[in-house]
């Protein structure tokens, strides 16, 4: 069994895997520095290195983690909270403004139709309608 974990994984710490290792016969544990949980290890960073790690383990029963290069952990989020707040405020301004503009557009259109309808009648027809 191959146990792959990141050194910065808080949900499954490396000591938990070390404690579970005696229960699995021929288990090999690979601890990757500056990596977190499974998404970091498998997909996000260095996917080819993970592919080689797994295929070498299945081919030779020895995991080869040689393709992994040191990559310092970044604590800079891809989407900051200030950007999320700006987007939220802009949506809260734009959506009601579009709603009000839609109501104004419909009201003007209805008013224009009403005036066009009254202007299309002849004065004699209007006089008979009002009587």
CA atoms within 13 A on the CB side of 31: 12
Q: What is the pTM of this model?
A: 0.51
pLDDT tens for 67-115 read 888 877 777 777 889 999 999 999 999 999 999 999 999 999 988 887 7
Q: Would the pLDDT of 48 be above 90?
A: no
pLDDT tens for 9-33 read 777 777 777 787 778 877 888 888 8
Query: What's the confidence (pLDDT) of residue 38?
Result: 67
Domain definitions of the chain by residue range: 2-60, 81-130
According to DSSP, the β-strands at 28-32 and 2-6 are: parallel
Residue scoring higher pLDDT (59 or 39): 59
E-strand spans in the chain?
2-6, 28-32
């Amino acid at each position: 069994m191959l146990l792959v974990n990141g050194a910065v994984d808080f949900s499954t710490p490396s000591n938990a895997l070390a404690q579970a290792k005696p229960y699995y016969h021929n288990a090999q544990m690979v601890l990757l520095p500056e990596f977190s949980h499974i998404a970091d290890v498998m997909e996000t960073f260095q996917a080819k290195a993970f592919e080689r790690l797994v295929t070498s383990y299945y081919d030779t029963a020895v995991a080869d983690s040689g393709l992994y290069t040191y990559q310092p952990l970044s604590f800079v989020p891809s989407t900051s909270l200030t950007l999320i707040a700006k987007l939220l405020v802009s949506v809260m301004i734009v959506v009601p403004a579009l709603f009000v503009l839609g109501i104004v557009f419909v009201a003007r259109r209805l008013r224009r139709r009403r005036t066009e309808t009254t202007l299309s009648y002849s004065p004699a027809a209007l006089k008979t309608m009002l009587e």
